[in-house]
Amino acid sequence: MATALITGASSGIGMALARVHAEHGGDLVLVARRRERLEALKAELEAAHDVRVWVIVADLAQDGAPRKVYDLVRELGLDVDILINNAGFGLHGLFHTQDPEHLSQMVHVNVLATTMLTRLFVPHLIARGRGHIMNVASVAAFMPGPWQAVYYATKAYVLSFSEALADELRTTGVTVTALCPGATETEFKERARIGRVRGFEMGAMSAREVAEYGYRAMLAGKRVVVPGWRNRLLTFLPRILPRSWTVVMSRIGMEPL
Ligand SMILES: NC(=O)c1ccc[n+]([C@@H]2O[C@H](COP(=O)([O-])OP(=O)(O)OC[C@H]3O[C@@H](n4cnc5c(N)ncnc54)[C@H](OP(=O)(O)O)[C@@H]3O)[C@@H](O)[C@H]2O)c1
């Protein structure tokens, strides 16, 4: 069965994806900073399923971290069949008030780590003529986002990058899926210091629902998937509304109540 490398597997959607993959009988490489969380998940999955799990502790905000993860995977002698770039975080607030270092880390994790891990692993997938890449974007990818300007822009990058790569790889047997969740019950909201905003007050999906939906879509080779009808409506509106209205809609969803 396929081996999947999942970044951000220590909580939320990444942890749920790891459980879904293990239920399918697949081995796993779990990547994040919190070792104890990853070790606990490894113990849980190896006890419950006939799978092997490896833990790699890495801070993907650091320059060179994707290369270190890649080198460790090679040293372990593992072939990664499924690469899931899920690690990411947001930061709520007006751009001119936000901590520059925090913003820089966000771009590193959400954009650079996703890009470089994909660049490092994809030649192996192409050489074998099969495999899947899933990049976790967001409904935020479809619109500019006042109060989370940088976060929304990072997700627009992830979506654009994924769609272009999916096209480049169309004859290789390797598929690329951009999973675009809306509000989801994870540690994301608290870590992004979002507080009370309409975008989350209207209800959130569970990480498990999002993971199952994304995993199925990835295996089916779908390119862009949005879990939940409300999120699909949210990503449809920017296609028909003028861009200036979309920005206002987006602001109404994210400004503090
Ligand atoms: N929840 C939502 O409403 C929502 C909506 C749309 C898209 N998303 C996207 O879904 C993805 C998963 O987020 P989530 O909702 O599951 O949030 P979460 O519960 O906060 O999980 C984020 C994961 O990313 C990892 N991570 C963060 N910074 C990292 C770093 N510097 N190095 C390595 N790993 C790092 C965290 O692990 P450590 O802290 O242990 O390193 C954690 O495992 C993100 O890309 C997020 O943007 C979330």
Of 5, 7, 10, 202, the one to substitute when testing ligand 1's pocket (max ligand atoms within 8 A of C-beta) is 10
Please report, for the domain that includes residue 248, its CATH number. Answer: 3.40.50.720
The rounded Å distance from CA 136 to ligand 1 centre is 9
CA distance 7 to 179: 14
Category of 93 on φ-ψ map: left (φ > 0), alpha (ψ -120 to 50) or beta: left
Of 17, 138, 188, the one to substitute when testing ligand 1's pocket (max ligand atoms within 8 A of C-beta) is 188
Atom of ligand 1 nearest to the CA of 110: 45
Phi, psi at 171, each rounded to 5°: -105, 10
The pLDDT value given to residue 1:
75
The pLDDT value given to residue 13:
98
One pLDDT digit (tens) per residue for the chain, 257 residues: 799 999 999 999 999 999 999 999 999 999 999 999 999 999 999 999 999 999 999 999 999 999 999 999 999 999 999 999 999 999 999 999 999 999 999 999 999 999 999 999 999 999 999 999 999 999 999 999 999 999 999 999 999 999 999 999 999 999 999 999 999 999 999 999 999 999 999 899 999 999 999 999 999 999 999 999 999 999 999 999 999 999 999 999 999 99
Domain containing residue 243: 3-254
Give catalytic status of residue 213 as yes or no: no
Q: How many other β-carbons are positioned within 10 Å of the β-carbon of residue 19?
A: 20
Domain count, the chain: 1
CA distance 235 to 148: 17
The rounded Å distance from CA 237 to ligand 1 centre is 26
| CA 126, chain centre distance (Å) | 21
Q: Which residues contact 155 (CB under 8 A, 6 or more apart)?
A: 110, 137, 138, 140, 141, 180
Atom of ligand 1 nearest to the CA of 14: 16
Residue 94 near residue 148, CB atoms below 8 Å: no
